[in-house]
């Protein structure tokens, strides 16, 4: 349940990627040199990491994980599971490297919706032309209480997304304008040409965090969910955060 402009993925900050690159040992560096020419032109290897299972080496490109052997003779695509526990080890790893520092998000670039006491907080990257985002806003957010939603208008689906976001941001009540568009389909009035928006900064932020689809939901514990979820699932997630 995602609107994606490239492919389904989770995300990670560039600073985190730099940390992994610095931690590579001699063997991991050797694997990197062997595997990079074989992955394909234009694909950047962010990190190489020896795993504790099967002698495999993890190759991370953005938030995609691939695996190879010590000599980079074979490339494995897919998830690795623990045969004893059925635990998805790849998902655990993706969840870990996809964490962010929630309080470091530039909330001044986002719309803000507060319901009830607003104590539970999430941030969502949404495109105004994303159908799943509209469903999330209409069905999930509407059903929630005591929540604050920061919405980063992340224009990735079409050029028209930029126009809609500008019109909404430049409205007298931008939060109301967003809800009217996403829930009721009522378009915001045309913005003045000189009205400044955070569109480019939000896009740069999303790219830095490798947000490749909308909606992408971030929680105060740093975790994220790619794609729309229903109110029951959101409630369960919020309740699990300490």
pLDDT digits (tens, 9 = 90+) for 208-238: 888 989 999 999 999 999 899 999 999 999 9
Taking domain 10-97, whether its CATH number is 3.10.450.70 is answered by yes
Is 70 exceeded by the pLDDT of residue 4?
no
Left if phi > 0, otherwise alpha if psi is -120 to 50, otherwise beta: which for 143?
alpha
The answer for residues whose C-beta is within 8 angstroms of residue 42's C-beta and 6 or more apart is none
Is 50 exceeded by the pLDDT of residue 15?
no
- pLDDT-derived band of residue 44, with 50, 70 and 90 as boundaries? confident
Which residue stretches of the chain are H helix? 14-23, 26-39, 89-97, 131-135, 142-143, 159-169, 174-179, 199-208, 231-240
Q: What is the pLDDT of residue 242?
A: 79
Q: Tens digits of per-residue pLDDT, 131-177?
A: 999 999 999 999 999 999 999 999 999 989 999 999 999 999 999 99
Q: Tens digits of per-residue pLDDT, 46-90?
A: 899 999 988 999 999 888 899 999 999 999 999 999 999 999 999
- pLDDT-derived band of residue 241, with 50, 70 and 90 as boundaries? very high
Domain boundaries of the chain, sorted by first residue = 10-97, 102-240
- Mean residue pLDDT across the chain: 88
- Topology classification of domain 102-240: Glutaredoxin (3.40.30)
The residue that leads in pLDDT, 181 or 6, is: 181
Is 90 exceeded by the pLDDT of residue 39?
no
């Amino acid at each position: 349940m995602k609107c994606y402009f490239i492919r389904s993925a989770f995300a990670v900050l560039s600073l985190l990627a730099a940390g992994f690159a610095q931690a590579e040992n001699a063997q991991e560096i050797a694997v990197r040199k062997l595997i990079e020419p074989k992955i394909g032109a234009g694909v950047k290897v962010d990190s190489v990491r020896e795993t504790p299972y099967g002698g495999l080496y993890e190759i991370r490109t953005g938030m995609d994980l691939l695996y190879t052997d010590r000599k980079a003779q074979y490339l494995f695509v897919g998830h690795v599971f623990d045969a004893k526990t059925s635990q998805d080890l790849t998902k655990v790893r993706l969840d870990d490297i996809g964490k962010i520092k929630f309080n470091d998000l530039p909330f001044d670039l986002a719309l803000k919706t507060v319901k009830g006491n607003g104590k539970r907080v999430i941030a969502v990257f949404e495109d105004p032309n994303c159908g799943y985002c509209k469903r999330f806003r209409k069905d999930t957010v509407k059903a929630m209480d005591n929540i604050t939603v920061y919405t980063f208008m992340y224009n990735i689906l079409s050029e028209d997304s930029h126009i809609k976001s500008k019109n909404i941001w430049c409205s007298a009540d931008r939060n109301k304008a967003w809800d009217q568009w996403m829930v009721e389909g009522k378009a915001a009035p045309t913005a003045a040409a000189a009205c400044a928006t955070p569109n480019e900064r939000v896009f740069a932020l999303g790219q830095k965090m490798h947000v490749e689809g909308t909606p992408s939901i971030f929680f105060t514990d740093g975790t994220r969910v790619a794609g729309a979820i229903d109110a029951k699932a959101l409630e369960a997630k919020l309740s699990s955060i300490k």
